[in-house]
Amino acid sequence: MYSRILGTGSALPQRQVRNAELATQVETSDEWVFERTGIRARHVAAPEEMTSDLAAQASRAALRAAGLCADDIDLIVVATTTPDMVFPSTACILQRKLGVPEGAAAFDVQAVCSGFVYALAIADKFIASGQHRHALVVGAEVFSRLLDWSDRRTCVLFGDGGGAVVLGAAAEPGIRSSHLHAAGGQGDILRVQGAPTSGHLADAVFVEMDGQAVFRFAVRVLEQVCKETLQANNISGADIDWLVPHQANIRIIQATARKLGLPPERVVTTLEDQGNTSAASVPLALDAAVRDGRIQRGHTVLLEAVGGGMTWGSVLLTY
Ligand code: UT7
């Protein structure tokens, strides 16, 4: 048994914050942020808007696109770094909001910016086992709540959003291969400290990042995992119709595309208007390119991501 994507959906908070607005709060400029990252704006959730709200909106759109309803879903995997609460999991909260029947499996995956790639790989294996038929796979974040808005090194980079796919059992792949990796020994270069202790959180729960170390790490491991994916499928960069990368920095994306020999017009980018939405960035970009007609049925699509942990991975699929 294989799995294939039946529909995609996404959700963005209404409020968009442009670089110029941030420049009134911290010492930065639109030029600096755009030149170094490719980002001009990001969406920021309203105070009452939760990860599960963005996940639900994206999931409803994906279900509509797939021509399915909540009753058809028997597996929910939500990738998020910003769950609504410690528990129930955001996946269980989503199950309740969507009305997915009691009895479906539902759990969260935490691999930070690589979370959606991890979640998709997991859901594919569940469906391949024959035990599940229709999975909702979601990446959703209110990452803005992990930011120290007075730290210009991090607050300009991230944003909020949600993306979802419905993955269904199929006779043909679909998902052709997935490749997941982690390097816990590198965990200190990108982290949010803080752990629950007796009803309180220890430490300041904000993103801490060694930007240059993360940049170098990302370029290195993304090249490795893309090569690994091509080799595993016995194809070359020329066989890829679309690269849908994690949207952290345009220079990291361009470096990966160059290594694959892909021209910029075959790379899907959303970071100019959305910033880095962590686990939501890959499904948001995928949905954008499916909805505007760039990604067509039968196209070969390479998804890749790298994030805190450190974690990284890829999925090769036929859409
Ligand atoms: O999902 C993974 C998440 N993280 C990433 O992917 C991050 C990867 N890293 C990056 O994208 C880049 O390293 C950054 C965009 C974070 C930084 O770009 P950079 O070219 O590596 O800049 P830098 O850290 O070397 O900083 C250069 C200068 C510094 O000033 P000094 O020490 O040279 O005087 C920084 O203090 O730029 C300064 N700077 C800023 N200036 C204006 C740092 N942030 C800002 C800012 N505005 N927002």
pLDDT at 154: 97
**Coil, strand or helix at 175:** strand
Helix (H) / strand (E) element for 116: namely: helix 115-128
Predicted local distance difference test score (pLDDT) of residue 149: 96
Ligand 1, residues 114, 147, 153, 311: which to mutate, most atoms within 8 A of Cβ? 153
d(CA 112, CA 91): 16
Contact, 228 vs 179, CB < 8 A? Answer: yes
Q: How do beta strands 242-245 and 300-307 pair? A: parallel
β-sheet bridge partners, residue 95: none
Asked if residue 243 lies in contact with residue 304, where contact means CB atoms within 8 angstroms, the answer is yes
Among 33, 36, 284, the mutation site with the greatest number of ligand 1 atoms within 8 A of its Cβ is: 36
| pLDDT, position 203 | 80
Residue tagged active-site, from 19, 43, 246, 249: 246
- Which is the catalytic residue, given 43, 92, 113, 179? 113
Backbone angles phi, psi at 34, to 5 degrees: -65, -45
Looking at residue 200, what is its pLDDT?
A: 86
Question: Based on the number of CB atoms within 10 Å of its own CB, is 254 exposed (0-12), middle (13-18) or buried (19 or more)?
Answer: middle
Q: Parallel, antiparallel, or unpaired: how do β-strands 300-307 and 160-170 relate?
A: unpaired
> Which helix or strand (DSSP H or E) is residue 32 part of?
helix 30-37
Domains and CATH numbers, the chain: 2-172 (3.40.47.10), 176-318 (3.40.47.10)
- Count the Cβ atoms, other than its own, within 10 Å of residue 200: 8
**Dist. CA 157 → ligand 1 center (Å):** 10
For residue 113, indicate whether it is catalytic: yes
Q: State the pLDDT at residue 196.
A: 85
pLDDT at site 43: 98
pLDDT at residue 202, as a whole number: 81
Give the amino acid at 109. Answer: V
If we measure between CA atoms, which residue out of 309, 264, 233, 259 comes closest to residue 79? 309
Which atom of ligand 1 lies closest to the CA of 276? Answer: 1
The protein residue with its alpha carbon nearest to ligand 1, atom 28, reads 153
Write out residues with Cβ below 6 Å of ligand 1.
28, 32-33, 36-37, 113, 152-153, 156, 209, 211-212, 214-215, 218, 248-249, 276, 307
Return the pLDDT at 45: 98
| Segments of the chain with pLDDT less than 50 | none
Q: Indicate which residue's Cα is closest to atom 7 of ligand 1.
A: 211
pLDDT reported for residue 120: 98
* 32 Cα to the center of ligand 1, angstroms: 9
Instruction: Tell the residue number behind the tokens 């020999």, with chain if given.
Output: 261
The rounded distance, in Å, linking the Cα atoms of 157 and 146 is 12
Unique residue bearing structure tokens 């962590």: 278
